[in-house]
Amino acid sequence: MFKNILNSANESNLLPLIALVVFFLFFSFIIWNTYKMKKEVADSMSNIPLEENNNLGEV
């Protein structure tokens, strides 16, 4: 599928090609960031919804 999209890249489908590249780069970055995250950070982030005093700016 990607081979066909890249082979037929011309001016009419430049926008879908750019969207595909941005989509791929964004989710690749998110996956890479998730795997490189330290366990302590992941644990503290997972407990944020459960904490009673989380200092997120009380209204």
pTM given for the model: 0.53
Q: Sort 3 into a burial class: Cβ within 10 Å, 0-12 / 13-18 / 19+.
A: exposed
pLDDT of residue 6: 63
Per-residue pLDDT tens over the stretch 6-52: 666 555 667 888 899 999 999 999 999 999 999 988 888 888 777 67
Per-residue pLDDT tens over the stretch 32-41: 999 999 998 8
